[in-house]
Structure 1
Amino acid sequence: MKTDALVHHGRHFGRTVQLFSNFNNLLREGILQEERMQAHDLDIDELQDQERKDHEVFIKLIRISPFLIDRLFSPDRTNEDILYSADALTRGASGARADDLKTMKSAVIDWITPEGGVIIPPLLRNVKTGRGFYHESTRAYLCPTDFDWSDPTVKAGLRSGQLVMTGLHWSKFLYKGLQVNPANAWDGLFRSKIMVLAYKHVFISPSAASGESRATRAGNAQIHGMGSVTPASLAYVATLLRFSLSHWNIFNRNDKQADSERFYGSILEFLEDPQEDTEVADLLRWWNG
């Protein structure tokens, strides 16, 4: 098995299935669960809810990288085989995330600049100092939907850190026109112009994010046969976009200031909630239309 192939598949997996993955655990638990199911003649639907969800992630990985089957389930499998595979996948996912964050950090300045106008005071493209709640342009996108930025106390609290935006707070950039409809939480949700630009930036190419077309099924996405937008890919883009708008400099699952893992998880859990199936189907039709 070529390392390049696994690295390549790790990049796609991180973007479209699971952003924060411990591939060593994922592979080992997936192997054990698969062997347990075969030994007891169990179907995946017979597993407990969390076991089923975890194993579905493993199955999605196998679909992306089918030749993993030969390595992981070979009678001659060694511990080194698992470690080798996990390391390559990790390098792929981490590399994709780093590449996307590096280019999006710069591109997001173009996306929030008024058409025919400028940002005052100016923001540097490659330095995050001054972003987040320290600048009116970025705060308009980043402000949580349940916070009133017009309230001076709220504004001061967010800037000072006395008020904390956690990963459970959803920002206005998720909504079309940055407008939230209190009577209908789905109205405009995940349909903002900046979300479309960020999605094209990641899944087609940075240069493709220069217009307003929703043609997201071409270019780099086709490398992996990605024919449609997925809930996990929307959560991925939203998480990176949130981080790019902020002043935070550390992106990892353990950083409690950015709380990126919880933000990503809250969006993915919402989009995968069976009670939201009708609205999610409509959302995906919009993106894939």
Structure 2
Amino acid sequence: MAPGPCSTPIQRKIYTDDFDAITGHLPFLKDRIESDVPSKVIRKIMNQVQSAASRARQTDTKTLKQAIITIIPQKYFLCGDDGSAAANALSEFTKLVMNPASTKSWCGWENLVTARLLCPIDNLSEFKVDPGSTRAKLRDGSLKLVDSKGDPKLPAFLYDKDLMDGSITQGLFRGPLLLAVYTHIFISPSAATGAKMSLKRGNARIHGMEKVIPSTICYAAVQAYVALCCAKEWKEEWKGIKFPSLYIFLREQFAHPDDPWSVETLKWWNMKIFGGPPETDEDPSETEQDVQGPSM
């Protein structure tokens, strides 16, 4: 997926960091860019890199399309409504997903569970009071998924409801469903649904990934969004929300790597995924040794 224009210094830094991460794993590419190799050769190589990233992204989308059915029932009680409301929602969800003809028609706003998880966090109180009316507004577009500035509204599944205090960042990126999706992609599908993580750390170890970085968290968040919405395959936009813009907006939350929130959030993730902080005390922003998630 091609990124949009770099309109701010933060966005330019994000793209630069992503480029440095890619060339860190493909040193020959950086050498050729800095040499006198014809530009058409560079474009050909970059097209091959983008093609490989797109295939990886499509694979993640495809596997999560089915895996989310298993992940949701185990995680919904932790991030959704409590008691009978949650039980009734999960009962509805189970009936829909067990219908072979439903494909992904059970997702998005058509199901109480997925609608609750996708609901913008700013509208969550309204959803809890009157889920039917809120779902109708989300379905017909009268309740937008972007704010007045055009920025994406953050979905509820990104948050740990027990940590929320009304600010945009408290509890952000600590939602149990997001953690499960990340584990599915970067560790293994079985680990995402409760199996004990292998000491080899699955896909992370295969790809040389030794710490969690912002780009992989944000990539998993976008993949989770796609899995929860009713899109049957990868697309760049759904109901007015553009996934490349969502990815960049999420990355912007980590714009200041020394900020206490950024430090604590990455520390939490590394504890959850690797059982402890990275071995080095490097800047928590992207480095050439970091593993980059498939390009958004």
Provide TM-score, normalisation by structure 2.
0.71
Identity, % of aligned positions:
29
Query: Highest Rg: 1 or 2?
Result: 1
Report the equivalent of 1:11. Answer: none
Q: Determine the C-alpha separation between the residues in 1 that align with 2:203 and 2:94.
A: 34
Residues 256 and 262 in structure 2, CA contact (< 8 A), matched pair in contact too: no
Q: 2:259 aligns with which of 277, 283, 287?
A: 277
Alignment of 1:104-183 (within 5 A): 104-113=64-73, 118=91, 119-123=93-97, 127-147=103-123, 148-149=126-127, 150-151=129-130, 152-166=132-146, 168-176=152-160, 178=161, 181-183=164-166
- Letter of the 1:71 partner, please give it: R
Report the equivalent of 2:193. Answer: 210
Measure how far apart 1:260 and its partner are: 1.2
Provide TM-score, normalisation by structure 1.
0.73
Displacement over 6 Å in runs of 4+ = 212-217
Q: Determine the C-alpha separation between the residues in 2 that align with 1:101 and 1:198.
A: 11
Alignment of 1:1-289 (within 5 A): 20-21=1-2, 54-75=15-36, 77-113=37-73, 118=91, 119-123=93-97, 127-147=103-123, 148-149=126-127, 150-151=129-130, 152-166=132-146, 168-176=152-160, 178=161, 181-211=164-194, 218-249=201-232, 251-253=234-236, 257-273=240-256, 277-289=259-271
Measure how far apart 1:254 and its partner are: 5.8
Measure how far apart 1:271 and its partner are: 1.8
Residues 217 and 226 in structure 1, CA contact (< 8 A), matched pair in contact too: no
Q: Determine the C-alpha separation between the residues in 1 that align with 2:108 and 2:239.
A: 16
Measure how far apart 1:207 and its partner are: 2.5
Question: Larger RCO: Structure 1 or Structure 2 (Cα < 8 Å, ≥ 6 residues apart)?
Answer: 2
Give CA deviations for 1:264-289 in whole Å, capped at 9, x if unaligned: 11111112246x72111101111112
Residues 202 and 237 in structure 1, CA contact (< 8 A), matched pair in contact too: yes
Measure how far apart 1:251 and its partner are: 3.3
Q: Determine the C-alpha separation between the residues in 2 that align with 1:245 and 1:162.
A: 20
Measure how far apart 1:80 and its partner are: 3.4
Q: Determine the C-alpha separation between the residues in 2 that align with 1:113 and 1:121.
A: 12
* Alignment: residue pair count: 244
Measure how far apart 1:213 and its partner are: 6.6
* Partner SS for 2:27: coil
Evaluate the alpha carbon distance shift between residue 267 and residue 214 of structure 1 in structure 2; reply closer, same or farther with a 3 A threshold.
Answer: farther
Gaps of 5+ in 1: 1-19, 27-47
Evaluate the alpha carbon distance shift between residue 69 and residue 261 of structure 1 in structure 2; reply closer, same or farther with a 3 A threshold.
Answer: closer
Measure how far apart 1:120 and its partner are: 4.2
